A and B are shown apart, each in its own frame.
Chain A
Amino acid sequence: MNIFKLCQTCSGTVLRRCIQTSSTRHVELTSVRYPDVKRGNYGSVRDSDLATFERLLPGRVLTDSLDGYNTDWLKTCRGASQVVLRPKSTEEVSAILKYCNEKKLAVVPQGGNTGLVGGSVSVFDEIVISTQLMNNIISLDEISGTLVCQAGCVLASLEDYLSNHKLTIPVDLGAKGSCHIGGNVATNAGGVRLLRYGSLHGNVLGLEAVLANGEVVDCLSTLRKDNTGYDLKQLFIGSEGTLGIITAVSLNCPQKPEAVSVAFLGCESFQSVLDIFKESRQKLGEVLSAFEFMDSQTMTVAKENLKLRSPIEDYPFYVLIETSGSNGSHDEEKLSQFLEHVMGTGIVQDGTVATEPTKIQNIWSMRERIAEGLMHDGYCYKYDVSLPLQSFYGLVEAMRERMGTMVTRVIGYGHVGDGNLHLNLTSPEYSTEVMDKIEPFLYDWVANHKGSISAEHGLGFKKKNFIYHSKSKSAVRLMKDIKHTFDPNMILNPYKVLPDF
């Protein structure tokens, strides 16, 4: 379907032929797909600005082939940035922001660009500030497990580095091969280990951030306990790049577990999933490190789209349990008893258990690659909500009934152990009709059941207008006051997180 639309990113009026596809080649401009969003009163990049940037970051100013920086991982948002800046140090970030603030040039901080709510790409022509070249590890204290590094370190590289010292990162997610720790902190990423190690709010000991006016805020403490004044780092964690650009992080890293086991179980109903969860908390206790679930439609994605093989027969629901501990035989005994019990009482129909790294990786990839598998369908409407466990799967059933054959599939999976559901719908192409039938119905349903409309993905561009479904007006008003204090010119990641109303 070809649509002729007015393009708002140019000073004149240019008729552009925008092909509405969701294939990997060409994604519709965000400014075109969402015509109600108006460009703010910002400056535009001039040659003199480019010259200044080139002087500040010689050879690290990109103006060509910016598709990768302008398109999000999900291929649902495309900005029109003309400039990408790649600083190497906090000082350079400070100099850039000071300049941009003076010229009222909007910027979008970008790490690994793996965000799922369109928060890491521009909407109009904001300048991309990439942390790609800020990937140095600054220090590691092996005794306390404290790691200090720059914000552009890729999560998987940190894990490799730490494993040589028998430590591990406290956060783990499917995007680990590409995401930057700065981005993880800015979005308060959850991941599969939150059940065991808690959120980044607890594991980040300190950070260094640059404010919109270039001022460097040094909160890069490595102390486990420091109750001196307001804990500013907590504001930056989860601020999605709207209060400052995080340039360095100090992280509390746990011991790398000696013994890891993964069990993959099949069961008959969602109630069984909850029963298994209750049993695993009781019987596996402190060695439980992950508890994920998938419905059968999710397994279909793994089999059909990714050609993966299920270790067990087909069941309505699947549970992935991981245990990690310091003593292999202790954990195996616990897991063995637990599995005998759940098989014996019939809440588990079948399953497999693995301790070998290769088998563990194979089982985990069935869960971690689902987001990738969904992309094969075309366009993915991705939702990430927190719900009370009693009504948890009810949302999936409600959406399935509501959407019928309008969509290719409706699947539910995720961190059930954290009360976090990943609900995804797919269709061959983006359709406004489908989107209007999903939203706001889905968000209303979540609000009615007292859940959160975004458990861990954040608000970014796509979900900011639904913030009132989960936060009160007084809370949002206070957030806006804080934003105004940190960034009076509103140059940091505009059009994201906080709504205009």
Chain B
Amino acid sequence: MSGFRILVGCKRVIDYAVKVRVKPDKTGVVTEGVKHSMNPFDEIAVEEAVRMKEKKLASEIIAVSCGPQQCQETLRTALAMGVDRAIHVITEPKEYESMQPIHVSKILSKIATEEKADLVIVGKQAIDDDCNQTGQMTASLLDWPQATFASKIEKSNGDLSVMREIDGGLETIKVKVPAVLTSDLRLNEPRYATLPNIMKAKKKPLVTKKPSDYGVDITPRQEIVSVEDPPVRQAGQKVESVEELVTKLKEAGLV
């Protein structure tokens, strides 16, 4: 019995620990010279795919990243974690700024078909735009079932049993393969890539493609009007007693 072929989406985002700054012209945030890394939820997706391969549930893992040249670093990290090969769909830095989940999901679904993938796993959302759309759109384009916010994935007689984190608690669903899964925080804790694997990763295949190779038009469909800092938090006031609190609330016309 051969295992699943898994396609994993890896987005290159500004690192979580970096203080994000808005560009003076308010068209976006400063990315030049800023430290980037793989979207943490995508790291979890890669880790899950690698674990499935270690459990012999998967036989091949392909990582995909869309964006400028530096995305290859992100893909090398995925390869060092245990992914078998990588596809870099290259775009100009300017085009990347206006790239949206709709574009990425079109590319991912085309690659999934071309590569005959059984599973597409992506992070539930990216920490830069918080869209939470790519997984769902990809499933729709492929007309595949989707299991989003996965916190546990298990094999169940050829199908998958997925525990999802939802507002009300935890929901377990059965999903037929092929399917799209999106990873949530508690799915796993990603491994650090160790030196022997980092060195092996340098020799693993990484191909570069263009969006047009997949017949995808990445003309922007949205225009960013402005990007601003959130309003500065006003200092609070400390009061000594309940009476003082009521007085202050009355003064402010709030009661």
A→B interface (CB under 8 Å): 258, 264-265, 309, 311-312, 339-340, 343, 348, 350-361
A309–B195 CB distance below 8 A: no
A311–B192 CB distance below 8 A: yes
User: Which residues of B lie under 8 Å from residue A354 when comparing CB positions?
Assistant: 192
Chain B residue nearest to A313 in the complex (CB): B194
B→A interface (CB under 8 Å): 15-18, 33, 35-37, 40, 189, 192-196, 198-199
Chain B residue nearest to A363 in the complex (CB): B192
Chain A residue nearest to B199 in the complex (CB): A340
- A139 nearest CB across to chain B (Å): 24
User: Which residues of B lie under 8 Å from residue A339 when comparing CB positions?
Assistant: 195
B17–A358 CB distance below 8 A: yes
State in angstroms the CA–CA spacing of A356 and B14 once bound together. 9
- B197 nearest CB across to chain A (Å): 9
User: Which residues of A lie under 8 Å from residue B33 when comparing CB positions?
Assistant: 258
A312–B192 CB distance below 8 A: yes
State in angstroms the CA–CA spacing of A359 and B16 once bound together. 10
A355–B199 CB distance below 8 A: no
B17–A352 CB distance below 8 A: no
Chain A residue nearest to B17 in the complex (CB): A357
B196–A350 CB distance below 8 A: yes
- A319 nearest CB across to chain B (Å): 12
Not counting A311-B194, A350-B195, A356-B17, a sample of 20 additional A-B residue pairs whose C-beta atoms are within 8 angstroms of each other reads A258-B33, A309-B189, A311-B192, A312-B192, A339-B195, A343-B196, A352-B198, A355-B35, A356-B36, A356-B37, A357-B15, A357-B16, A357-B17, A357-B18, A357-B35, A357-B37, A358-B15, A358-B17, A358-B40, A359-B192
**Considering the complex of A and B, which 3 residue pairs feature the smallest CB-CB distances, nearest first?**
A311-B192, A356-B37, A357-B17
How many A-B pairs have beta carbons closer than 8 Å: the answer is 48
A359–B194 CB distance below 8 A: no
Q: Which of B17, B36, B40, B195 contacts A351 (CB 8 A)?
A: B195
Chain B residue nearest to A349 in the complex (CB): B195
Q: Is the interface of A mostly helix, strand, loop or mixed?
A: mixed
Q: Which of A352, A355, A357, A360 contacts B194 (CB 8 A)?
A: A352
Residue of B33, B189, B194, B196 contacting most chain A CB atoms (<10 Å): B194
- B71 nearest CB across to chain A (Å): 14
A359–B37 CB distance below 8 A: yes
B192–A352 CB distance below 8 A: yes
User: Which residues of B lie under 8 Å from residue A351 when comparing CB positions?
Assistant: 194-195
State in angstroms the CA–CA spacing of A265 and B196 once bound together. 12
User: Which residues of A lie under 8 Å from residue B37 when comparing CB positions?
Assistant: 356-359
B15–A343 CB distance below 8 A: no
User: Which residues of B lie under 8 Å from residue A356 when comparing CB positions?
Assistant: 15, 17, 35-37
User: Which residues of B lie under 8 Å from residue A358 when comparing CB positions?
Assistant: 15-17, 37, 40
State in angstroms the CA–CA spacing of A444 and B41 once bound together. 54
- A28 nearest CB across to chain B (Å): 35
User: Which residues of A lie under 8 Å from residue B40 when comparing CB positions?
Assistant: 358
State in angstroms the CA–CA spacing of A340 and B200 once bound together. 11
Chain B residue nearest to A351 in the complex (CB): B195
B198–A353 CB distance below 8 A: yes
Residue of A264, A311, A357 contacting most chain B CB atoms (<10 Å): A357
Given A309-B189, A358-B37, decide whether A353 and B195 contact each other with a Cβ distance below 8 A.
Answer: yes
User: Which residues of B lie under 8 Å from residue A353 when comparing CB positions?
Assistant: 195, 198
Q: Which of B16, B36, B194 contacts A350 (CB 8 A)?
A: B194
What are 23 A-B contacts with C-beta separation under 8 Å?
A: A309-B189, A339-B195, A343-B196, A343-B199, A350-B194, A351-B194, A351-B195, A352-B193, A352-B195, A353-B195, A354-B192, A355-B35, A356-B15, A356-B36, A357-B15, A357-B18, A357-B37, A358-B16, A358-B17, A359-B37, A359-B192, A360-B17, A361-B17
User: Which residues of A lie under 8 Å from residue B198 when comparing CB positions?
Assistant: 352-353
- B66 nearest CB across to chain A (Å): 19
State in angstroms the CA–CA spacing of A153 and B192 once bound together. 36
Chain B residue nearest to A355 in the complex (CB): B35
State in angstroms the CA–CA spacing of A357 and B37 once bound together. 9
User: Which residues of B lie under 8 Å from residue A352 when comparing CB positions?
Assistant: 192-195, 198
- A462 nearest CB across to chain B (Å): 36
